[in-house]
Amino acid sequence: MATKLDKVDVVVVGVGWAGGIISAEMAKAGKNVVALERGEHRERSDYIGQKDELKYDSRYEIMQPLSSDTVTSRSELDETALPIRTREQMQLGFDVGGASVHWAGATYRYWPYDFEMRSKTIERYGEDKIPEDMNLQDWGITYEEMEPYYDKWEKMAGISGEQDPLAPKRKNEWPNPPLKETPALKLFKDATSNLGLHPFQIAAGNMSQNYTNPDGQTLNACMYCSFCTRHGCDFSAKSDPLATVVPTALEHDNFELRTRAYVRRVLYDGGNKQATGVMYVDEETGEEFEQPADVVVLSAFAFTNNRLLMLSGIGEQYDPETRKGIIGRNFNGQYNSAFHGARGYFKNKRFNLYMGAGALGAAVNDYAADNFDHSDLDFIGGGAIELRQYGDAAIKSNYIVPSDTPRWGKKFKENSLFYAYRGLHIWYTSTVMSYWHNYLDLDPNYTDEFGDPLLRATYKFGDNERNIGKFGVEKCREIMEEMGADIVEEDALPEEFDHVYAGGHYTGGVVMGDDPETSAVNNYLQMWDVDNLFVVGGSAFPQFGSHHPTPTIGALAYRAAEGIEKYMNEGGQLAKAKTKSHKA
Amino acid sequence: MVDKDQNKGHTEEPENASRRDFLKKSGYAAGGVAGGLVLGGLFGQFDTAEEGANSDQVEQLQNARTFFKRREDFETLAYASERIYPEDENGPGAIKLGVPYFIDKQLAGYYGYNAKTYMKGPFQPQKSGEYGLQTKLNRGEVFLHGLRKMQEVSQKDFGSKFAELEGEQQDEILRKFEANEIKLKGVQSSIFFELLRQTTIEGVYSDPVYGGNKDMQGWKMIEYPGPRMGWANEIDAEEFLSKEPMSLKEYQGGNL
Ligand SMILES: Cc1cc2nc3c(=O)[nH]c(=O)nc-3n(C[C@H](O)[C@H](O)[C@H](O)COP(=O)(O)OP(=O)(O)OC[C@H]3O[C@@H](n4cnc5c(N)ncnc54)[C@H](O)[C@@H]3O)c2cc1C
Ligand code: SF4
Q: Whose CA is nearest to atom 4 of ligand 2?
A: A228
The pLDDT of residue A583 is above 60: no
Q: Are strands A288-298 and A340-345 parallel, antiparallel or unpaired?
A: unpaired
The ipTM estimated for the assembled molecules is: 0.96
Q: What is chain A's mean pLDDT, rounded?
A: 97
> How much of chain A, in percent, has pLDDT values that exceed 70?
99
Q: Where are the alpha helices (DSSP H) in B27-85?
A: 39-44, 56-61, 71-84
The pLDDT of residue B33 is above 80: no
Q: pLDDT at position B56, please?
A: 56
Distance from CA of B4 to the nearest CA of A (A): 20
DSSP string, A268-310: EETTTTEEEEEEEEETTT--EEEEEEEEEEE-SHHHHHHHHHH
User: Which residue among A235, A354, A499 places its CB closest to the CB of B225?
Assistant: A354
Q: Indicate whether B256 belongs to any domain.
A: no
Q: pLDDT at position A97, please?
A: 98
Q: Indicate whether B6 belongs to any domain.
A: no
Residues with Cβ < 8 Å from B163, sequence gap 6 or more? Answer: B33, B37, B38, B39, B75, B76, B78, B79
Higher pLDDT, A527 or B32: A527
Residues written for chain A:
584
Residues with Cβ < 8 Å from B213, sequence gap 6 or more? Answer: B97, B98, B102, B203, B204, B205, B206, B207, B219
**Kind plus residue range of the DSSP H or E element containing A341:** strand A340-345
Q: Indicate whether B26 belongs to any domain.
A: yes
Interface of A with B in 34-53 (CB under 8 A): 49, 51-53
The answer to whether the Cβ–Cβ distance between A355 and B134 falls below 8 Å is no
Q: Are strands A8-13 and A261-269 parallel, antiparallel or unpaired?
A: unpaired
Domain of residue A291 covers 3-70+98-570
Residue of A147, A95, A102, A242 lying closest to A552 (CA atoms): A147
Q: Indicate whether A546 belongs to any domain.
A: yes
> How much of chain A, in percent, has pLDDT values that exceed 90?
98
Query: Is residue A102 among the annotated active site residues?
Result: no
For residue range A51-97, list pLDDT tens digits in order.
999 999 999 999 999 999 999 999 999 999 999 999 999 999 999 99
Q: Indicate whether B98 belongs to any domain.
A: yes
Amino acid at A244: T
Q: pLDDT at position B256, please?
A: 78
Q: pLDDT at position B50, please?
A: 41
Q: pLDDT at position B9, please?
A: 30
Euclidean distance between CA atoms A15 and A23, whole angstroms: 8
Q: Indicate whether A91 belongs to any domain.
A: no
For residue range A10-34, list pLDDT tens digits in order.
999 999 999 999 999 999 999 999 9
The radius of gyration computed from the CA coordinates of chain A, to the nearest angstrom, equals: 23
Q: pLDDT at position B255, please?
A: 83
Q: Taking each helix axis from N to C terminus, what angle separates B139-158 and B71-84, rounded to the nearest 10 degrees? A: 80
The pLDDT of residue B4 is above 90: no
Vertex B137 angle, CA B131 and B140, to 5°: 110
**Kind plus residue range of the DSSP H or E element containing A76:** none
Neighbours of A166 (CB within 10 A): 15
The answer to whether the Cβ–Cβ distance between B252 and A49 falls below 8 Å is yes
Q: What is the mean pLDDT of residues B61-77?
A: 95
How many structural domains is chain B composed of?
Answer: 1
- Using CB atoms within 10 Å of the CB of residue A329, give its burial: 0 to 12 exposed, 13 to 18 middle, 19+ buried: buried
Q: Whose CA is nearest to atom 3 of ligand 1?
A: A103
Put simply, whether A84 touches B (Cβ < 8 Å) is yes
The answer to whether the Cβ–Cβ distance between A59 and B84 falls below 8 Å is no
Q: What is chain B's mean pLDDT, rounded?
A: 83
b/e string for A267-294 if b means 16 or more Cβ within 10 A? bbeeeeeebbbbbbbebeeeeebbbbbb
- Using CB atoms within 10 Å of the CB of residue B89, give its burial: 0 to 12 exposed, 13 to 18 middle, 19+ buried: exposed
The answer to whether the Cβ–Cβ distance between B241 and A420 falls below 8 Å is no
Distance from CA of A235 to the nearest CA of B (A): 9
DSSP string, A438-459: -EEEEEEEEE-TTSPEEEEEE-
Residues with Cβ < 8 Å from A129, sequence gap 6 or more? Answer: A121, A122, A374, A380
The answer to whether the Cβ–Cβ distance between A398 and B204 falls below 8 Å is yes
The pLDDT of residue B29 is above 60: no
Residue of B198, B246, B243 lying closest to A396 (CA atoms): B198
Euclidean distance between CA atoms A385 and A367, whole angstroms: 8
Contact between residue A402 and residue A425 where contact means Cβ atoms under 8 Å apart: no
Output the pTM of the full model: 0.93
Q: What is the mean pLDDT of residues A424-447?
A: 98
SS3 A74: strand
Euclidean distance between CA atoms A251 and A216, whole angstroms: 11
Active-site residue identified among A252, A340, A505, A548:
A505
Contact between residue A337 and residue A81 where contact means Cβ atoms under 8 Å apart: no
Confidence of residue B57 (pLDDT cuts 50, 70, 90): low
Domain of residue B142 covers 20-222
Residues with Cβ < 8 Å from B201, sequence gap 6 or more? Answer: A395, A398, A399, B84, B85
The answer to whether the Cβ–Cβ distance between B235 and A49 falls below 8 Å is no
Q: Indicate whether A177 belongs to any domain.
A: yes
Interface of B with A in 174-213 (CB under 8 A): 174, 178, 197, 200-202, 204-207, 210
| A363: DSSP letter | E
Residue of A162, A486, A469 lying closest to A337 (CA atoms): A469
For residue range B95-154, list pLDDT tens digits in order.
999 999 999 999 999 999 999 999 999 999 999 989 999 999 999 999 999 999 999 999
Confidence of residue A152 (pLDDT cuts 50, 70, 90): very high
SS3 A385: strand
For residue range B151-204, list pLDDT tens digits in order.
999 999 999 999 999 999 999 999 999 999 999 999 999 999 999 999 999 999
The pLDDT of residue A212 is above 90: yes
Q: What is the mean pLDDT of residues A103-127?
A: 98
Confidence of residue A584 (pLDDT cuts 50, 70, 90): very low
The pLDDT of residue B25 is above 80: no
Atom of ligand 2 nearest to the CA of A233: 5
Q: Indicate whether B247 belongs to any domain.
A: no
The pLDDT of residue B32 is above 90: no
Amino acid at A424: L
For residue range A469-490, list pLDDT tens digits in order.
999 999 999 999 999 999 999 9
Distance from CA of A452 to the nearest CA of B (A): 13
Taking CA atoms, what residue in B is nearest to A227?
A: B227
Q: Indicate whether B251 belongs to any domain.
A: no
Contact between residue A225 and residue A360 where contact means Cβ atoms under 8 Å apart: no
In B38-197 the beta strands, taken as DSSP E runs, fall at: none
Ligand nearest to C-alpha A225: 2
SS3 A73: strand
Euclidean distance between CA atoms B251 and B235, whole angstroms: 19
Taking CA atoms, what residue in B is nearest to A182?
A: B236
Confidence of residue B45 (pLDDT cuts 50, 70, 90): very low
Q: Which of B99, B213, B221, B224 to mutate to test the interface with A (most CBs of A within 10 A)?
A: B224
b/e string for A541-557 if b means 16 or more Cβ within 10 A? bbbbbbbbbbbbbbbbb
How many structural domains is chain A composed of?
Answer: 1
- Where residue A398 sits, what CATH number does that domain have? 3.50.50.60
Give the side-chain half-sphere CA count within 13 A for A569.
10
Q: Indicate whether B114 belongs to any domain.
A: yes
Q: What is the mean pLDDT of residues B220-242?
A: 97
Residues of B with Cβ-Cβ distance to A420 under 8 angstroms? 222-224
Q: Indicate whether B72 belongs to any domain.
A: yes
Q: What are phi and psi of A582, to 5 degrees?
A: -150, 165
Residues with Cβ < 8 Å from B157, sequence gap 6 or more? Answer: B169, B172, B173
